[in-house]
Amino acid sequence: MLTELLLTICTAIFLYLSYRYAVGRPVGFPPGPPRIPFFGSYLFLLLINYKYLHKAALTLTRWYKSDIIGLHVGKFPVAVVHSGEGVREVLNNQVFDGRPGIFLAAMRDPGDDVRGIFFQEGALWKEQRRFILRYLRDFGFGRRFDELELVIKEQITDMLDMIRNGPKYPHEHHLVKPGGYRVQLPLLFNPFSVNCHFHVVYNERQSREDMAGLVRLVQMGMQFQRHADDYGRLLSIMPWIRHVWPEWSGYKKLNESNQFMRQYFAEIVDRHIETYEVGSERNFIDLYISEMKSCPGHGFNRDQFIMGLLDFSIPAFTAVGVQLSLLIQYLMLYPSIMERIQQEIEEVVGCGRLPTLEDRKKMHYTEATIRESMRIETLVPSDVPHKALADTELLGYHIPKDTIVVPSLYAYHSDARVWSDPEQFRPERFLDDQGELCLKLDVSFPFGAGKRLCAGETFARNMLFLMTAAMCQNFNYVLAPGDQLPDLSKNQNGLIITPPDFWVQLENRRCG
């Protein structure tokens, strides 16, 4: 009898503690789903929408009728914000400028520290970001720079020649089929984009013949973007899982891509260290090396620079081509929009030369279409996760220090309270009554905002315009026998949204 009583009491205590664990949360924390041991609330996100976790989180927001929800990803408390007011607060309030110490960030570096820019915080992050932005501007990064535009023009010309005449070198077979006019997306654009970026960083670029390394870099960058996810995967919840299921957990692919990318940039840095001469700085990399040598022992060191350089470069060899490919999907689904772009190109540019950034000022519809594509297909749906640096409040809820805070850019860009008919692809929403681009109408955040604003925004916008206009000027996107129109539901959710690799048929266009 006593044994049965003790068993009943123990069972009751266990059930009570389990209940408290499942539904317990800090006082004033936002409402949200329960948690279970090891996984937290992560399994609930997977059950709701395993393919698009940002959409699963939005479903929970509607379920709890709150613009902010609180949940746990493993042991980490997480607040996910879905309203425009909340998203703006997270992006612009420096108390949310921290970065969580998740395994996905730590595994990128072979050392014990988290290095680089994306996942760094505090004084080191501010110092590194300030230095990089200050001196990269001298080489054309983050501003209009005539020399850089000439380089972009050269790269676009090479790309157009490859499309028309087919591959000349083995690595180009990954980009275009023999005979030309059939290209693989999103891979096509990125080698040429990163070549322009490298011209800014270390005043070098590869010829088409020598682009094999760039193509492989792009492939590894895409592999990393696709095998991460916006909530850190199970790897961040249970890092030990990589030892049991390295393939299924995504660790093998992530580790392979991380090692390749880090080694690629280590070779660039080491080559410059070996040939550096004091007082004869050749490029931005030499300026950083000069800082390393003049202030040894602080944040400026080889390992930090390798990861920082990688972080500043990865959008150029992944994101630009992906965003262009997402836009092309919509141009194929809405051919009348592409026809309007082509008409605008004929009116402003004509046929005898490539479009320029000066033309961009007059090509309102083309620019509006690019902006609409970045709104409707938010490249980084959940932004890179933020972290509260102190106890604070958000939308009336208590957010404890070290809480991961996710500003859902996807939810904000699809909020009917901000955008009329947000599910429609409608470039006109950014035009005024005279058909001119009105920046006041563009309240989107495709590059984030605040101190964590993507440093490459100007470079990316310039690349997107010049490549979009050049492609529409020269080609039509058509369906070859056996092809089908893009299926947007097949786009993949990783750290960024990416379309699956697909081949697109181009048709030479007679301008005029």
| Greater pLDDT, 276 or 5 | 276
What are the pLDDT digits (tens) for 330-373?
Answer: 999 999 999 999 999 999 999 889 999 999 999 999 999 999 99
Question: Average pLDDT for residues 496-508, to the nearest whole number?
Answer: 93
| Contact call for residues 191 and 159 (beta carbons, < 8 A) | no
Question: Which of 5-19, 100-114, 177-191 is the most confident on average?
Answer: 177-191
Q: What is the pLDDT of residues 31-85, one digit of tens each?
A: 988 888 878 888 888 889 888 888 999 999 999 999 999 998 888 889 999 998 9
Instruction: Write out pLDDT tens, residues 200-225.
Output: 888 888 899 999 999 999 999 999 98
Q: Which two tokens stand for residue 512?
A: 């005029």
pLDDT at 298 over 90: no
Structural tokens at position 392: 């604070």
Would you say 454 is a known binding-site residue? Answer: yes
pLDDT digits (tens, 9 = 90+) for 277-294: 887 888 888 888 888 888
Average pLDDT over residues 394-405: 93
Q: Which residues contact 414 (CB under 8 A, 6 or more apart)?
A: 376, 422, 423
Q: Could you tell me which residues come within 8 angstroms of residue 219 by beta carbon, excluding any fewer than 6 positions away? A: 174, 187
Residues 140-167: tens digit of each pLDDT: 666 667 788 889 999 999 999 999 999 9
Tell me the C-alpha distance between 81 and 406, whole Å.
6
pLDDT at 12 over 80: no
Token pair of 192 as six digits: 């040429």
Confidence (pLDDT) at 1? 64
pLDDT at res. 199: 87
CATH architecture of structural domain 2-508: Orthogonal Bundle (1.10)
Residue bearing the bigger pLDDT, 432 or 108: 432
**pLDDT on residue 290:** 87
Separation of alpha carbons 208 and 171, rounded Å: 9
pLDDT for 16 beyond 90: no
Amino acid at 267: E
pLDDT attached to residue 144: 65
- As a whole number of angstroms, the distance between CA 404 and CA 57 comes to 14
Residue 206 CA neighbour count, 13 Å, CB half: 18
